[in-house]
Amino acid sequence: MTLFLTEGEVTDLLDMPSVLDAVEAVLRHHAEGKATNRARRRVSLPTSGLNVMFAGAPEIGALGLKAYTVARGGARFYTMLFDPESGELLAQMQSDKLGQMRTGAASGVATKHLAREDASTLGVYGAGWQAESQVEAIAAVKKLERVIVHSRTEESRKAFAEKMGEKLGMEIETTAAAEEPAAQDIVVTVTSSSSPVLKGEWLKPGAHVNAAGSNFLMKAEIDRAVAGRASLVAVDSREELGLEAGNLLSALETGAVLPEAVRELGSVIAGHVPGRRGPDDITLFSSQGLALEDLAAARLVYDRARERGVGREMDF
C-alpha cells in the first residue's frame, strides 16, 4: 500500500535541523558516487508548464521524482518516493513546503561549509516565502547577531521582519538601501528578479553568498562581479550549468569564471575539494535545487509518517 500525505501533514513532519542533516548527507553521497541525480526537465505551454526532476539514493532508501505544474492559478508540487530495492511506490506527497525547506537547507549547508567560522551577520535580498527558510536554515548553522532584509516594497520587508523575528526570537532589521545587506558576513539572494539585485562591488572581503532565487538561464539576481570576485564558486550539480544556472551565465560567458573552476557543494562536504582558504575569501553558492535534496526530505517525511501513523493508505 502507498501512503498519501497532504501538504499539512508534510509540514507537521518536517523540522529544519533534520532537513539540514538529510540534505548534507545526500550531497555527500552524491560526491562519493553513491547517489545519482538528473537535471530538471520542462514542458512549456502557452498557459502552463510541467517540470520533472528525478534521482536515486540507495544509501537512504530513496528513488523517485518531484513533478510540479506552474499555471496562472499558481504552482502545484508532488513528490513520488519509491523503494530502490523492490521498486514499490512507498509514498506520494504534496510537497510545496518540502521544496521550500530543502531549498533553505541547501543554503544552510553551504553556509556551514563555506562561510567564515565567525560569520554572525546576514543580509537578505527578498522577503517572500522562500526567504523564510533561507533565514531559518542559516540561523540554525550560525549564531546570528544581525539580520537585515531588503525587498522591493517597505510593506513586504516589514511583514517579513515581524514574522521571522518572532519565529527566531530576534530583531530583524529592514532597509531601503540596496547595498546594505551586501555588507554582511553572509548574503542571500532569493528573489524573482530577472536582473541583478546584488552587485559584486558591494561585497566586503570574507563574505559568503547564497544565490538561491534563479533556476532559469534568463534570470540573474547577481551580477558577474559577484562570481568574478569569488575564490570558490559552488553549485548543487555541474550538470545544471548550461541548463539553469542563470546566476552564473554572465560570468561564464565572459570568462570571469571558467566552467572548470565551478565546484559541486557535495565535493566540498566530502573533502574532495577545498572550500574557503582564508578569512578574506569571497565564496559563492549558486543554488538550483536537486531532486536528491527533495528525496532526502521525502524519505525523512515518509519514515516519520510511518512511525506516527500519519497519512492515508491508498492502493494505486
Residue 251: predicted pLDDT:
80
pLDDT (mean) for 80-92: 97
Q: Which residues have CB under 8 Å from 151's CB, separation 6+?
A: 125, 126, 127, 128, 157, 160, 191
Residue 243: predicted pLDDT:
67
Mean pLDDT of the chain: 94
Q: Which residues have CB under 8 Å from 263's CB, separation 6+?
A: 232, 233, 234, 235, 273
Lowest model confidence (mean pLDDT) among 142-156, 164-178, 214-228: 214-228
| CA separation for the pair 92, 302 (Å, rounded) | 9
Residue 118 has pLDDT above 60, yes or no: yes
Residue 217 has pLDDT above 60, yes or no: no
Residue 11 has pLDDT above 80, yes or no: yes
Residue 128: predicted pLDDT:
95
- Residue 187 grid cell: 548574503
Domains and CATH numbers, the chain: 2-99+292-314 (3.30.1780.10), 105-289 (3.40.50.720)
- Could you read off the pLDDT of 239-294 as tens digits, one per residue? 877 666 667 878 878 888 898 999 999 999 999 999 999 999 999 999 989 999 99
Residue 285: predicted pLDDT:
97
CB 125 within 8 A of CB 191: yes
Q: Which of 21, 24, 68 is nearest to 43 (CA)?
A: 68
What proportions of the chain, in percent to the nearest 5, are helix, strand and coil?
A: 40, 25, 35
Q: Which residue has the higher pLDDT, 37 or 240?
A: 37
Residue 16 has pLDDT above 60, yes or no: yes
- Residue 200 grid cell: 559584486
Residue 256: predicted pLDDT:
83
Place of cell 512511525: 307
Residue 58 has pLDDT above 90, yes or no: yes
In the chain, % of residues over pLDDT 90: 85
CB-based burial label for 37 (10 Å; 0-12, 13-18, 19+): buried
Q: Which residues have CB under 8 Å from 94's CB, separation 6+?
A: 5, 6, 7, 10, 76, 77, 78
As a whole number of Å, the CA-based R_g of the chain is 19
CB-based burial label for 51 (10 Å; 0-12, 13-18, 19+): middle
In the chain, % of residues over pLDDT 70: 97
Residue 22 has pLDDT above 90, yes or no: yes
Q: Is 137 in a helix, a strand, or coil?
A: helix
Residue 213 has pLDDT above 80, yes or no: no
Residue 245: predicted pLDDT:
63
